[in-house]
Structure 1
Amino acid sequence: MISDDEFDFDVTVVGAGPAGLTSALYATRLGLDTLVVNRGGGRAAMMRDTHNVIGVTEETSGNEFLKTAQEQVKSYGGEYRRGFVEHVEAIGRGGGDSDSRGSGDDGDVDEGDDGAPDGFRVDTGDEELTTRRVVLATGFSDERPDPPLPRTGMGLHYCLHCDAYMFVDESVYVMGTGDSAAYVAMIMLNFTDEVDVLLRGEEPDWSDDTAEMLENHPVDVVREEITGMNKDDDGWLESFEFEDGTVREYKGGFPMYGSDYHAELADALGLEREDSGEVAVDDHGRTSLEGVYAVGDLTPGHNQIPVAMGEGAKCGIAIHMDLRAFPRSTDDIADLGPVDESEVPAVSPELMATAVAHEGHAGGPRADADEVEGEATADD
């Protein structure tokens, strides 16, 4: 069995989108030694502008937003590394390791006496490290249609809740053949009276109920494939050309071809998944395997930055509650005795040094500056 102080980290977050970074921020500020491993990219990094995030203005790009978040995590003592986690392996209690990628011969994780792994071994390709808890924030990729296509954010958009506002009273397309494409087209009628569904030469496979609904909404269904595209001088979409020779003007639109969940680590650990592909979690990001959490686009719910940040915050708090040393329960007091003064505070020396020096600390530089300013005001 590995003791708590023998792990390299308390928490390892795999993925550095809004959900993963918020999890890391909360875990770090709540006294847990935290590592973020980020391979780069992701849906948030693709954003030209940031929408619907209170306090963050439109002109902030996704990369700028994420860079600020990364620096925040590091400023509080969290560690951030670029890398790719190849696999995560559960470590059973008593020092017994599970088979490769967290599965035993029968496909079940080798768990400890209380049904939970003692911790996890994380392989980044360059090194192996041990951690008490793992947060999966690996997200998903949107399935892209074939070209010709406009640039993402300049006529090609993946988030109706983020971008519908941009197309009020503009002509809009929705690409796809399934129920989701038909529904998004009908939803867009709340914002504009010019909406087409582009089948691109394929046959629709939406349900009969959806077909009846679509027939009773003023949405045009365009069956022909796209053969060309026109853009304005700034690179924004102006129109598509079709096989039948027609040209249709659009300001932008939404491809609806599904999602590719980055759930390889989740599957290797045997985590339960929803029928729709997301990793199943409780309200605080706990998965079906104790010690493993999942947040953000990898889990069910609205794929929105504020939602992801809320999930990350709840996950970070949950991990703190799961791992914090105190209060010591009556059962633990019976086993371990009362809490000795030498055991407190339960923060690593590294985090303590960072916290005491941080501008947000009660005794940090900002507090000293405020005290000097207060003295100067009093003297005046």
Structure 2
Amino acid sequence: MSSSDDDYDIAVVGGGPAGLTTALYGTRLGHDTVLVDRGGGRAAMMADTHNVIGVTEETSGNEFLATGREQVESYGGTFERGFVTDVERTDDDRFRLAVDDDELLADRVVLATGFSDERPDPPLPRTGKGLHYCLHCDAYMFVDEPVYVMGHGEAAAHVAMIMLNVTDEVDLLTRGAEPTWSDETAAQLEAHPIDVVREDIVGVENDPDSGWLDALEFEDGTTREYRGGFPMYGSDYNTGLAKGLGCDLTEGGEIDVDDHGHTSVDGVYAVGDVTPGHNQVPVAMGQGAKAGLAIHKEIREFPRSKESIAREGPVDPAEVPAITPELAATAVTHEGHAGGPRAETDAETVAKTPRADDD
């Protein structure tokens, strides 16, 4: 267990849904955990939160993330605003993280560094009010509305066809670029009622009251009405730390992981959008939970192995519990603890509730 302010069992790099969930599990399972986040990120861009059970639409990404940080800290986890510039393995097989002008030590490192969407050239609609990056999050918003898909590659062509599941008005905007999709995709595209617009965009018209997109103006002088759409120009994965540690990457550029977030480097995990799979908040949270549990099983003190017992003898009663005094002190006063404030309030409520035979 860690013993100083800059010494941790688990260090999580990145404070999106995946990183927050990993830190939450690590902290609640009794491990000194630090979450380092530079701010921003894909989830912070969300004007509204979609597809997350228990979280309503009007919750913004920043509100969602702020609540997550508060939860981690309420259980005794440490949150630091900063940028991790380097991670290296130490001589004693731990990890040293360079955070701005400071350093942290940890037994395990979790990379939740995400990716950045490649933005097309302006002019563009406002992000969140006409320019959207997550098809499965935002397609519902455009049921029976005119929609564009922007791009000239395979992904753009397929997303345009996918959008026909929710609306009958879909245009594919190549913005003057020559299409790079395959002949097979071209034939498939021609069999769907989609207009391929090759002229570039020269202007954007927004609703003066709501700020939402009304229409796009093209270089041939035409104007087409749209409510929103999706640019498909690829992603830039934040894998610099993973490369420095020697982690394997996939052909697509993500960090290669198993089903519990293990990378090819012992002690290093990766979760969320920087790994393969659907870029969805609930998926990222599930990956964070899996990684948190996997790390717990690796580093928890008990049960001791048979080999350890044979070598060192039975567990001394003085060695338990393994949770640090600081985390224990936080736990016993937490509202989620069996003896915490909420439990006392619930007990008082039960005591005051009349039974059926009290009349």
TM interval, shorter chain, is over 0.9
Could you tell me which of 245, 248, 254 is aligned with 1:278?
Answer: 254
The one-letter code sitting in structure 1 at the alignment partner of 2:280 is Q
**Deviation at 1:215?**
1.1
In 2, the alpha carbon distance for the partners of 1:342 and 1:216 equals: 73
In 1, the alpha carbon distance for the partners of 2:22 and 2:259 equals: 14
Counterpart secondary structure, 1:86? strand
Map of 1:367 onto structure 2: 343
In 2, the alpha carbon distance for the partners of 1:199 and 1:245 equals: 16
**TM-score normalised per structure 1:** 0.91
Could you tell me which of 203, 209, 219 is aligned with 2:178?
Answer: 203
In 1, the alpha carbon distance for the partners of 2:85 and 2:164 equals: 44
Counterpart secondary structure, 2:353? helix
Q: Does 1:223 align with 2:198?
A: yes
Map of 1:20 onto structure 2: 19
The one-letter code sitting in structure 1 at the alignment partner of 2:118 is E
Could you tell me which of 156, 174, 183 is aligned with 1:181?
Answer: 156
Map of 1:258 onto structure 2: 234
**Deviation at 1:321?**
0.5
Counterpart secondary structure, 1:129? strand
Map of 1:308 onto structure 2: 284
Q: Which moved more, 1:3-12 or 1:51-60?
A: 3-12
**TM-score normalised per structure 2:** 0.96
Q: Deviations over 1:84-125 (max 9, x none)?
A: 001000124xx3xxxxxxxxxxxxxxxxxxxxxx21011102
The one-letter code sitting in structure 2 at the alignment partner of 1:329 is S
The one-letter code sitting in structure 2 at the alignment partner of 1:256 is M
In 2, the alpha carbon distance for the partners of 1:243 and 1:369 equals: 67
**Deviation at 1:337?**
1.6
In 1, the alpha carbon distance for the partners of 2:66 and 2:112 equals: 17
Q: How many residues align?
A: 354
**Deviation at 1:324?**
0.6
In 1, the alpha carbon distance for the partners of 2:119 and 2:35 equals: 28
Q: Does 1:52 align with 2:27?
A: no
In 2, the alpha carbon distance for the partners of 1:11 and 1:345 equals: 19
Map of 1:126 onto structure 2: 101
Q: Does 1:214 align with 2:213?
A: no
% identical aligned pairs: 68
In 1, the alpha carbon distance for the partners of 2:230 and 2:313 equals: 61
Map of 1:104 onto structure 2: none
In 2, the alpha carbon distance for the partners of 1:366 and 1:336 equals: 41
Q: Deviations over 1:162-187 (max 9, x none)?
A: 01111111111000110000000000
Residues 333, 5 of structure 1: alpha-carbon distance in 2 compared, 3 angstrom cutoff: farther
Q: Deviations over 1:52-99 (max 9, x none)?
A: 00011000000000000100000000000100001000124xx3xxxx
Q: What RMSD in Å do the two structures reach over aligned CA positions?
A: 1.3
Map of 2:139 onto structure 1: 164
Map of 2:72 onto structure 1: 73
Could you tell me which of 344, 351, 374 is aligned with 2:320?
Answer: 344
Q: Is the 8 A contact 2:203 2:216 kept in 1?
A: yes
Map of 1:87 onto structure 2: 86
In 2, the alpha carbon distance for the partners of 1:249 and 1:371 equals: 60
Map of 1:33 onto structure 2: 32
The one-letter code sitting in structure 1 at the alignment partner of 2:265 is L
Counterpart secondary structure, 1:286? coil
Q: Does 1:149 align with 2:124?
A: yes
Greater than 4 Å deviation, 4+ residue runs: 3-7
The one-letter code sitting in structure 2 at the alignment partner of 1:342 is A
**Deviation at 1:5?**
5.3
The one-letter code sitting in structure 2 at the alignment partner of 1:17 is G
**Deviation at 1:232?**
0.6
Q: Which runs of 5+ in 2 are unaligned?
A: none
The one-letter code sitting in structure 2 at the alignment partner of 1:135 is V
The one-letter code sitting in structure 1 at the alignment partner of 2:200 is E
In 1, the alpha carbon distance for the partners of 2:193 and 2:51 equals: 29
**Deviation at 1:229?**
1.1
Q: Does 1:356 align with 2:335?
A: no
Counterpart secondary structure, 1:248? strand
Q: Deviations over 1:149-170 (max 9, x none)?
A: 1111100000110011111111
